[in-house]
Amino acid sequence: MCLGIPMKVVKIDGDEGVVEAGGLRKRANLSLTKGLRIGDYVLLHAGFAIEKLKDKEARKTLQVLRDMHI
């Protein structure tokens, strides 16, 4: 099973960046999601930001994951 995780963009450098969730920072390829800004949430899968998420949707999903202790 594959799982995409909502993560917040904290650094952008061209098509590469750094995303963060739950204190974990990961390098990410941002080339599939145009128009991102620092502070936006993306769905990260296999190192690629595959979709920009609405803040409310991302926060809700992250809370569900925290409640499940994932």
**Residue 65 confidence (pLDDT):** 86
Architecture (CATH level 2) of domain 5-67: Roll (2.30)
Report domain extents, the chain. Answer: 5-67
Q: Which residues contact 38 (CB under 8 A, 6 or more apart)?
A: 9, 10, 11, 12
d(C-alpha 19, C-alpha 28), whole Å: 7
What's 3's DSSP letter? Answer: -
3-class DSSP state of 65: helix
Query: 69 pLDDT band (50/70/90 cuts)?
Result: confident
**Residue 1 confidence (pLDDT):** 54
pTM above 0.75, yes or no: yes
Pairwise pLDDT comparison (2 vs 38), residue with the higher score? 38
